[in-house]
Amino acid sequence: MFYEHAIELLDRRGVTIEAIADIVYDLQLKFHPQLTRRECVESVDTVLKKREVQHAIITGVALDELAEQKKLPYPLQQMLESDEPLYGIDEIVALSITNVYGTIGLTSFGYLDKNKNGIISQLNSNKGMVHAFLDDLVSGIAAAASARIAHEYPDFSRYEINGEKDSL
């Protein structure tokens, strides 16, 4: 497993687990008022232990760094340098992260990717650096960690029959 390597890569690119956890906290607090930052850190950490998430980070960060070093062939180099909005491959790679806790992460992913919450907006303002994949990776991780928290707090009262909770 490349869990520690993935964390190291994110760190090298300026993204800490805590910064991702802050996004998750801001996103989920209104739905789960008892949520703590510590739970968000743990949720991000659990997402990073998934192999597919590590593979997405390893691939995306490699492409961003190769683009910074001008080592990608034309026109991929230009697409990543300009963060071409029609590129789409950065989003599909991040989707493999989001899916890790089910489809319900999709909505948060799109929302974060558009709103550029927290650390995500800072990534997009670093001139000279290429973060074509990184912002989508971070949105994907935060969305998956949020979906995981939502799954932890299900509301089963709606399935009660005759006032009694069903044996769910």
Contact set with a second copy (CB under 8 A) = 1-2, 4-5, 31, 50-52, 55-56, 58-59, 62-63, 65-66, 71-76, 78-79, 81-82, 84-89, 91-93, 95-96, 99-100, 102-104, 106-115, 143, 150-151, 154, 158-159, 161, 167-168
User: What is the number of other CB atoms lying within 10 angstroms of the CB of residue 7?
Assistant: 18
Cα angle at 81 between 76 and 82, to 5 degrees?
A: 100
Let me know: does 114 contact 42? Beta carbons within 8 Å. no
Least CB distance from residue 150 to a second copy, whole Å? 6
User: What is the number of other CB atoms lying within 10 angstroms of the CB of residue 1?
Assistant: 9
- Please identify, using beta-carbon distances, which residue of 18 and 49 lies nearer to a second copy: 49
Q: How far apart are CA 1 and CA 76, in angstroms?
A: 29
Least CB distance from residue 82 to a second copy, whole Å? 4
Least CB distance from residue 111 to a second copy, whole Å? 4
Least CB distance from residue 57 to a second copy, whole Å? 10
Cα angle at 61 between 115 and 17, to 5 degrees?
A: 60
- Please identify, using beta-carbon distances, which residue of 112 and 141 lies nearer to a second copy: 112
Residue bearing tokens 């998430």: 53
